[in-house]
Amino acid sequence: MDIHEYQAKDLLRDFGVKVPSGGLAYSPEQATYRAHEIGGDKWVVKAQVHTGGRGKAGGVKVCGNEHEVFDAADEMFGKKLVTHQSGPAGKIVYRVYIESGVEIERELYLGFVLDRSSERIMVVASSSGGMEIEEIAQDQPDTIIRSVVDPAVGLTEFQAREIVFKLGLDASHVQGAVTTIRGCYRAFRDLDATMVEINPLVVTSDNSVMALDAKMEFDDNALFRRQQIMELRDKSQEDLRETKAADQGLSYVGLDGNIGCIVNGAGLAMATMDMIKLAGGEPANFLDIGGGASPERVAKAFNLVRSDENVSAILVNIFAGINRCDWVAEGVVQALQSTAMDLPVIVRLAGTNVEKGMEILENSGLPIATATTLAEAAEKAVTICKSGLTPPTIAAAS
């Protein structure tokens, strides 16, 4: 789960990370009021959206008076911010954050990620801040510092200091930077984060070390024990299709093609995508029904997949281990009978109770194409899509 920059800053502040003073606004009037509260003569108005790269897309404005704050906020509210990270759909701005503007002396990069090869949290830092880590990795790979944290010991003072020295910070900034690094690490660990990114971490002209931007991501599987984090969720920033699926306990991934896929397990989903591509087609999405899916769950999955306008055929590919083919077949039949359906359906079942499952499909009298192998199923789906033939409408049973 993603959260907003202002939320991440609020969390990090409690761990001793220094951030500029700021306040949230839901209207331009509120934005000016916040600026007034904060005081000073320079503010930054920042669009709160779940994507990076806001600066280059007009989502970060430095302002010199309250009128400018009003105008900047007014310009941002309701706007669809399309950044190079947001994808073409962009993210709509409903909240803006007003911050005290700081004079930047130096910009650095500081990130915390889960390093799967060492199975530990890794600190990634660079003396080149402000640009994205991918860019730094490409243009200045030598500046990247990596440091793996031993979970039994935590991120020690000396390890943090070592990172700070490698960043080439002045002696007077060492303590501030060490506090920031250790604070971020503790926040990562204590809040079940999967990512913390401070880009840029800055040294200001009045000699303090501050997090000017903050991004945090959390482990969805740990949210049940992180009520405080769960409450920070902002559904307006999520893909509606994915949110709807998640609310029903299904995992959905939207793609750009026209074949909707219902599968069980992420591995089988990948294989299904590959086979569709190999057969010359493009998947529109995939929906993972997981293990032990009931007919009702399968029917829900069906309705979700076909609610995507781009879908012109649905491919069901189930390898039943924990699942049961007969339940999946019942779910498919239920879904097709409950509402009129004019999309062709291709089903490939294998594993537990496969004979029973095929029997249910055949006896249903519904025009369902079946296949015994994944290759055959993918080819059928692609051929049907490419033929451009309007499939026979399956009338609602009732």
Q: Angle CA(171)–CA(177)–CA(181) in degrees, nearest 5?
A: 145
Residue 82 binds to ligand GDP (criterion: CB under 6 A):
no
Nearer to ligand GDP, 102 or 299 (CB): 102
Residue 288 binds to ligand GDP (criterion: CB under 6 A):
no
Q: What are phi and psi of 115, to 5 degrees?
A: -95, 110
44 binds, among ligand GDP, Mn ion, none (CB under 5 to 8 A by kind): ligand GDP
Token digits for 259?
A: 């074949």
Closest C-alpha to 48, from 112, 100, 101, 3: 3
Q: What are phi and psi of 379, to 5 degrees?
A: -60, -45
Residue 199 binds to Mn ion (criterion: CB under 5 A):
yes
Catalytic residue (one of 109, 252, 330, 379) = 109
Using the rule CB under 6 A, which residue among 24, 82, 92, 104 binds ligand GDP?
104
Nearer to ligand GDP, 44 or 378 (CB): 44
Range in contact with Mn ion (rule: CB under 5 A) among 1-9, 35-43, 199-207, 350-358: 199-207
Angstrom distances, CA of residue 298 to CA of 227, 268, 272, 305, 390: 30, 16, 18, 11, 25
93 binds, among Mn ion, ligand GDP, none (CB under 5 to 8 A by kind): none
212 binds, among ligand GDP, Mn ion, none (CB under 5 to 8 A by kind): ligand GDP
Range in contact with ligand GDP (rule: CB under 6 A) among 96-104, 158-166, 268-276, 379-387: 96-104
Q: Return the residues of window 49-68 that contact ligand GDP according to CB under 6 A.
A: 52-55, 60, 62
Q: Angle CA(28)–CA(29)–CA(35) in degrees, nearest 5?
A: 90
Q: Which residue is nearest to ligand GDP (CB)?
A: 55
Using the rule CB under 6 A, which residue among 212, 259, 261, 314 binds ligand GDP?
212
Angstrom distances, CA of residue 84 to CA of 88, 131, 240: 8, 13, 20
Using the rule CB under 6 A, which residue among 17, 38, 98, 102 binds ligand GDP?
102
101 binds, among Mn ion, ligand GDP, none (CB under 5 to 8 A by kind): ligand GDP
The mark string for 251-280 relative to Mn ion (x by CB under 5 A, - otherwise) is ------------------------------
Name beta bridge partners: 2.
217
Nearer to ligand GDP, 60 or 369 (CB): 60
Which pairing describes strands 144-148 and 80-81: parallel, antiparallel, or unpaired? unpaired
Catalytic residue (one of 197, 252, 330, 379) = 197
Nearer to ligand GDP, 126 or 323 (CB): 126
Q: Which residue is nearest to Mn ion (CB)?
A: 213
Residue 44 binds to ligand GDP (criterion: CB under 6 A):
yes
Token digits for 336?
A: 């097709």
Q: Where are the extended beta strands (E) located within the chain?
A: 22-25, 43-47, 60-63, 80-81, 91-92, 96-100, 104-115, 120-126, 144-148, 193-204, 209-211, 215-218, 251-254, 259-263, 283-288, 313-320, 345-351, 368-371
Q: Verify cis geometry, omega within 30 degrees of 0, for the bond prior to 200.
A: yes
Asked if 395 contacts 366 with a C-beta cutoff of 8 angstroms, the reply is: no
Known catalytic membership, residue 97: no
The mark string for 201-220 relative to Mn ion (x by CB under 5 A, - otherwise) is ------------x-------
Residue 200 binds to ligand GDP (criterion: CB under 6 A):
yes
Q: In whole angstroms, what is the distance from residue 379 CA to residue 366 CA? A: 20
Number of residues that bind ligand GDP (CB under 6 A): 16
61 binds, among ligand GDP, Mn ion, none (CB under 5 to 8 A by kind): none
Asked if 153 contacts 186 with a C-beta cutoff of 8 angstroms, the reply is: no
Known catalytic membership, residue 197: yes
Torsion of CA 186, 189, 193, 194, to 10 degrees: 110
- Residue bearing tokens 């990562």: 188
Q: In whole angstroms, what is the distance from residue 146 CA to residue 124 CA? A: 5
Number of residues that bind Mn ion (CB under 5 A): 2
Nearer to ligand GDP, 101 or 295 (CB): 101
Q: Return the residues of window 116-145 that contact ligand GDP according to CB under 6 A.
A: 130
Cite the active site residues.
109, 197
Residues that bind ligand GDP (CB under 6 A): 44, 46, 52-55, 60, 62, 101-102, 104, 130, 199-200, 212-213
